[in-house]
A and B are shown apart, each in its own frame.
Chain A
Amino acid sequence: MTDCSQNLIDAREVVQALERAFPSAHIAWEENLSPSAQHAIVLDSEHALECAQWLKEVSPWEWDFLSNVTGVDWTDEALALQAKARIKADPSVDPESLPKEGYLEAVYHLYSIKNILGPLILRLRTANRENDVSLPSLTPVWRSAEFQEREIFDLFGIVFEGHPDMRRIMMWDDYEGHPMRKDFVDVDDYEYEPTPHDAVLKRCQERFVDPANGR
């Protein structure tokens, strides 16, 4: 067993290699301020597919295994909070350079089984949260993305262009809305709660006349 610390990869090296391979692509390095320090590479939608292809088949690391794909809903408020933390951590950051308008994000976790490396984290971002929510699908590169991209489409509403089968996977076909979006309003079917607490108590207080007794 190799030393695990050797298996972590500096995302900046990958960014530099990508920039050399695709000079026209806009590739950013996203720092993760949390203790996990799992920094990410942000790819632009236009070049994401060819970058992914290159990462898997040409790059020296050979990212041959996609372990996980997930979605994130960045609202304007969430971005403002993040910007605050970022400026606090590093006062030299230009506030204007940080994104303000919310977007949806797909996060890909890559490993190299061949070279025992990972994780490498890719992020793809939509233009906004409302009408321009498409991203290129990476299913043609890593087949394991197929169901997970469908799940992201179902729960977050990101439309993956080039996906072989872009349908809902969890909710039924006629379901309206995307339940993991921060602004999703679920159906008001609350019933009597004998012992409301935490989030349920808050909802009871908003909706019921006698929330202390759950009604």
Chain B
Amino acid sequence: MDEGLKSELQKAGIFTTTLNDLYNWGRGNSLWPLQFGLACCAIEMIATSMSRYDLARFGAEVFRPSPRQADLMIVSGTVTKKMAPQVVRLFKQMPSPKYVIAMGACAISGGPFKQGYNVLKGIDRYMPVDVHIPGCPPRPEALLHAIMTLQRKIAQDTLHQNRRKEEEVERIAALPVPEHGSHDLLPPKHDVLWHPEPVQRS
């Protein structure tokens, strides 16, 4: 429906909407995050959910302790190579639709620990990330902004595309959980997701 006409009708006291808008409105405003934290970013995430920042204003305050009941994964903190398989397994166990927020420098890229021996260089090697939040750690306002960004992203979905998008995410989620090798995870990344910038080795 034309936005101008919609606005005119609204002035006359007639509210119109579409099934698509209602559907996205419902989805975007009742995100249920998975309740888990990995490092200091988790402390900021906890602060966000408490009364001062009040995540409930955005309908995402119901943190679930089970992946079966959650649809948003906030990867809040450093993902070590030892922890990565468990995080990927939790992602696999979430029902569709599932969204991922990578919170903080570590979850995005490994952060200050990137060149270390035990830290994953970003969670987007194993799962499709919807919103990245830079910061070390990001302030609660940044997490609120990420939730709002995700809601805007959800609002742009259309009913007939949804199924295809979800299937794509499920295909990635169906890839095997990485295993521990002698020094690194096997595989070190899912090739469909992560294409590092090529380097020439001497």
Residues of A within 8 A of B (CB): 170-172, 174-177, 179, 184, 186-187, 189-192, 199-200, 203, 206-210, 214-215
* Cross-interface CB contact of B183 among A175, A191, A209, A210, cutoff 8 Å: A175
Alpha-carbon gap, A200 to B112, bound state (A): 11
6 closest residue pairs by CB, A with B: A192-B197, A209-B200, A215-B199, A187-B183, A172-B180, A176-B182
Main DSSP-derived SS at the A contact region: loop
| Contact A209 to B201, CB < 8 A, known contacts A170-B118, A171-B82 | yes
Chain A residues whose CB sits within 8 angstroms of the CB of B115 once the complex forms: 190, 199-200, 203
CB pair B202 A186 closer than 8 Å: no
Alpha-carbon gap, A47 to B200, bound state (A): 55
CB pair B196 A191 closer than 8 Å: yes
B130 on the A face (CB < 8 A)? no
Chain B residues whose CB sits within 8 angstroms of the CB of A214 once the complex forms: 199
B59 on the A face (CB < 8 A)? no
CB pair A208 B118 closer than 8 Å: no
Chain B residues whose CB sits within 8 angstroms of the CB of A176 once the complex forms: 182-183
Q: Name the residue in B183, B184, B196, B198 with the highest tally of chain A Cβ atoms < 10 Å from its Cβ.
A: B183
Chain B residues whose CB sits within 8 angstroms of the CB of A191 once the complex forms: 121, 196-197, 199
A-B contact pairs, 17 of them (CB 8 A): A170-B118, A171-B82, A174-B181, A179-B117, A179-B118, A189-B188, A191-B121, A191-B196, A191-B199, A192-B196, A192-B198, A192-B199, A207-B202, A208-B200, A209-B199, A209-B201, A214-B199
Chain A residues whose CB sits within 8 angstroms of the CB of B81 once the complex forms: 172
Alpha-carbon gap, A157 to B131, bound state (A): 41
Alpha-carbon gap, A176 to B182, bound state (A): 5
Chain A residues whose CB sits within 8 angstroms of the CB of B181 once the complex forms: 174
CB pair A174 B180 closer than 8 Å: yes
Alpha-carbon gap, A179 to B119, bound state (A): 13
Mask of B120-141 contacts with A, CB within 8 angstroms, 1/0:
0100000000000000000000
